[in-house]
Amino acid sequence: MKFIPVLSFPVAKKLGHSVGEFVKSADLQAETMAWIARNAPVDVVLGPMDLSIEAEAFGAMVRFGDDDVPAVMGQLVAEEDDVAALAVPPPTTGRCTMAAEAIAKVKAMNVGKPVFGGMIGPFSLAGRLADVNEMMFLLMDEPETVHALLEKTTAFLSAYGAALKAAGADGLFMAEPLAGVISPAALEEFSAPYVKRIREALQSVDFPLVYHNCGGNVTKAAEAIFAQGTAGCHFGNAIDLASMLEKAPAETLVMGNVDPVAMLAQGSPDGIKAAVASLVERCGAYPNFVLSSGCDIPATTPWENLEAFFAAAGDMQ
């Protein structure tokens, strides 16, 4: 059984780095990914799940904190004219270059395990540029404006993903959580076609794309999500993973989904072991099941809890 948790932030903290420092430094990110490869029982090392880099490249303001992941602030585009005027930045803008440098640095260390880059999905990026709440109104009132914005986020992400691939990434982990809170019909119109285009541009036999979604409507949209054709799908803890495995193509890896907050960050070692055992009991019979956290694990997670997670994963091998 494979084990691919989202570990960057708590490991960075263990190594003495605040989240605010970590998300701005290629050296610290490479150091952290190398530590994970060499010391954690993972099959793949995932890069940081920082969903602010791409919006910042477009010009959005970002708030940084010591223990919290960066947060996009304000609204960059509000109407059709704003979208029309919005320039698609090159994938070397801002911290995009840093993320690529981190991949190149850790690959140069020959850590012995695949290293995946991370990026946001097209609809989730559009939501950060237009404001998540306002996006819900735009979907109903100005769908053509949303599609115009998605054309630009898709073009950028295709180029950014190619830059991470060129830097040496062995695959990509793409987070599209905002698509999980809209209706299945809206996901099929405003997210899935654009995810598929990015997959077609980037994925190959030796370069897999993993799609992440943690929204509550995911199970209802399973058919559209799996039709996107990504090599793997990673689902949050709000989702019945066994139900998704039932619907998944046999060749699609389905990853998840121990609760990263209530269980890993706030639970007990014994509770974590029980949660892993329960998940494996329900999902372990599927050969395409991959044990993981439901999302990125908070930086403040007690290390003894992560050790319990690692031990439980080892017990299930």
Q: The domain containing residue 119 runs over which residues? A: 2-315
Residues of the chain with pLDDT under 70: 1, 317
Query: What pLDDT sits at residue 316?
Result: 73
CATH code where residue 187 lies: 3.20.20.210
Q: Give the up-direction half-sphere exposure of residue 52: CA atoms within 13 A in the CB hemisphere.
A: 17
Query: What pLDDT sits at residue 216?
Result: 86
CA dist 198 and 176 (Å) reads 12
* Backbone torsions φ then ψ of 131, nearest 5 degrees: 85, 125
Secondary structure, 3-state, the chain: CEECCCCHHHHHHHCCCCHHHHCCCHHHHHHHHHHHHHHCCCCCEECCCCCCHHHHHHCCEEECCCCCCCEEECCCCCCHHHHHHCCCCCCCCCHHHHHHHHHHHHHHCCCCCCEEEEEECHHHHHHHHHCHHHHHHHHHHCHHHHHHHHHHHHHHHHHHHHHHHHCCCCEEEEECHHHHCCCHHHHHHHCHHHHHHHHHHHCECCECEEEEECCCCCHHHHHHHHHCCCCEEEECCCCCHHHHHHHCCCCCEEEEEECHHHHHHCCCHHHHHHHHHHHHHHHCCCCCEEEEECCCCCCCCCHHHHHHHHHHHHHCC
pLDDT per position as a tens digit, 142-173: 999 999 999 999 999 999 999 999 999 999 99
Tell me the pTM: 0.96
- Give me the number of domains the chain comprises: 1
Three-state DSSP at 97 gives helix
Query: What pLDDT sits at residue 305?
Result: 97
Query: What pLDDT sits at residue 215?
Result: 87
Query: What pLDDT sits at residue 35?
Result: 98
Query: What pLDDT sits at residue 89?
Result: 98
